[in-house]
Chain A
């Protein structure tokens, strides 16, 4: 009798599981259509591990935007709940989290700051029809072809095209070496900068690839020193780039360094040492907190809330979250494809520029060139 009852229970559970498995994609999140209670937004980022500084900045930017909207009464009288998930910068953990935020009925996702993690999560979020606004910048994000993936900044192609234009076209430098890492970000930077150089008929004197975990760059840098380049392009995250610059200066390399967003951050400057980082050329859509009235207001609110200076990643996440919340409002808290379409249709004058998304999910197509002077990133004069 007990055996028969157990079999019946097992069969019932199995049929429930099967029914859930066979339901239409996106159909599993009925709770998201619930028009009472808070609007659930997930923030997925590294909150621990080597990339946690990116995750911490992104969280602060997103939190600021959500708090602003909640203080104004939320959307349609509903408060916005921003729940944080730690992916540890690991694509495997990221994919598990993608399933979790689907099953728990989140309407949209902010993050991650890591291209490799975002790319790993993209197919699951696409199937679940959960719009995702990422801070990643790898061209690989666009290559996923997901209608639900949006970038809150430019891709590496834009960053590096601007950089090559400044270094090669304007400054006339053709003696360039490259150091990139083999992670998702570094690979994107490698391909984008090499392509920008190729378009200008420039072949780098050295094209060195390091691992994301590498700590000692003696062999790589000694080889580069013998080529005596004028500029060394860096395609690695902030801590690794800072270590490369510090070790390069110790080896007597005087070349100017150049790179994209990570090379404009305080973490890069602190790790390298301000003297060593002096003169580094940076391509960024957000050069400083004093560029416009909007950036000044944002920076003041950031400082008041978190007691630290705002920077690019926080600004990107702030813009991305504002766009998402605006789209939620204009679409009357729509979900799935309707929300994705609303995001794509949103025109937003943000801290990074005027967002107008194209079909690939990219909304910004310009960066400016800055230089590190006296330990701060300032606009380049030439």
Chain B
């Protein structure tokens, strides 16, 4: 029983990070119908920026994260601006454009920070909590709390603000949205900016859990993408459920299947997707192409 519960605890904190990555994927997909393949690389940029401001500039962790989110959000704006001329014209080129951006970001990361990575010490150095023999890291609780707050803020933004409502309208029917005076380009830009900000949040938070290296975004990007699909691409609750599910599934398969755990995780993922192609929370396929 203890192994079972400890496995769940271990899977949940990384699951929360996968959920944040999935949220970024879903938000851009929801608004534009586009899979941003540069998203994983944006996570790495966010992780490096946060760790640089935290370790080199010696800013407090929260402030370093805020600056990193702001700067990474700006990168999201740049990506959208470059892709904008293709919007509603050539969807395939837009997809390839995001892949190209990913490669460029990867190269820039290595040029700026080098090929080797860096370890980020935990910003909350207190000892793990002991709950009936279960060990819970205090930093895991911080990650969970921040992920939860970010999700609530995102939902509130989409449902309660004018810009959020406009983005939802664009997602449903961009021509009708244009007709009522909504600026589709600006709406997409906001989606990209928030998506990149979420990527920076995930990257910054995961630094002290893992190790910041150019390869970081690769793993998180694939797991986050899988989480978004599992939950239902474009669905906000789906991204969260998918992220946590992938995190916990990963943790369990690691215990039971050892060296074959990755294979088993993706086999289970494939079976679920075969049974329910739109994902657990997905009701329809958003397709703006």
Contact = CB atoms under 8 A, between A and B. Distances in A.
B85 interface: no
B84 interface: no
B259 A209 contact: yes
Given A52-B214, A250-B128, A216 B14 contact: yes
A208 B255 CA distance: 9
Interface stretch (A28-36, A218-226, A284-292, A346-354): A218-226
Contacts of B153: none
Interface string A174-215: 000000011000000000000000000000000011110111
B135 A216 contact: no
Contacts, number: 117
A216 B247 contact: yes
Contacts of B252: 219
Contacts of B254: 210-211, 214, 216-220
B16 to A, nearest CB: 12
A242 B211 contact: yes
A164 interface: no
Band of interface residues on A: 35 or more
Interface in A53-91: 53, 55-56
Interface stretch (B3-11, B22-30, B90-98, B164-172): B3-11
A53 B251 contact: no
Given A56-B114, A56-B116, A270-B119, A216 B10 contact: yes
Contact of B255 (A52, A220, A251): A220
B57 interface: no
Interface in B55-72: none
A335 interface: no
Interface stretch (A43-51, A132-140, A294-302, A359-367): A43-51
A55 B10 CA distance: 31
Contact of A211 (B121, B137, B255, B259): B259
Nearest to B10: A218
Given A48-B214, A218-B251, A53 B116 contact: yes
Nearest to B210: A215
B3 A49 contact: no
A271 interface: yes
A219 B206 CA distance: 19
Contact of A250 (B106, B135, B214, B261): B135
B219 interface: yes
Band of interface residues on B: 35 or more
Nearest to B135: A251
A141 interface: no
Contacts of A252: 128, 130, 135
Contacts of B7: 218-219, 222
Interface in A110-169: none
Nearest to A219: B255
A239 interface: yes
Interface string A84-114: 0000000000000000000000000000000
A52 B6 contact: no
A216 B11 CA distance: 7
B258 A210 contact: yes
B262 interface: yes
B36 interface: no
Given A211-B262, A251-B135, A52 B116 contact: yes
A334 interface: no
A50 B215 contact: yes
A49 B118 contact: no
Given A50-B215, A243-B211, A213 B262 contact: yes
Nearest to A207: B258
A376 B116 CA distance: 19
A255 interface: no
Contacts of B14: 215-216
Contacts of B80: none
Contacts of B211: 239, 242-243, 271
A273 B135 CA distance: 18
Given A48-B106, A239-B213, A56 B259 contact: no
Contacts of A345: none
Q: Which of B121, B218, B255 neighbours the largest number of chain A CB atoms within 10 Å of its CB?
A: B255
A273 B209 CA distance: 12
Nearest to B109: A48
B206 to A, nearest CB: 9
A133 B269 CA distance: 42
Given A214-B262, A218-B254, 20 more contacts: A48-B214, A49-B215, A52-B213, A52-B214, A53-B115, A56-B114, A56-B116, A182-B258, A208-B258, A211-B259, A213-B219, A214-B250, A215-B210, A215-B219, A216-B11, A218-B7, A218-B9, A218-B10, A222-B2, A223-B255
Interface of B: 2-3, 6-7, 9-11, 14, 106, 110, 114-119, 121, 128, 130, 135, 137, 209-211, 213-215, 218-219, 247, 250-252, 254-256, 258-262
21 contacts: A47-B115, A48-B214, A49-B215, A50-B213, A52-B110, A52-B116, A56-B115, A211-B254, A211-B259, A211-B261, A215-B209, A217-B10, A217-B254, A218-B251, A220-B254, A220-B258, A223-B255, A250-B137, A251-B135, A252-B130, A271-B119
Q: 4 closest A-B pairs (Cβ-Cβ)?
A: A218-B10, A219-B255, A182-B259, A52-B115
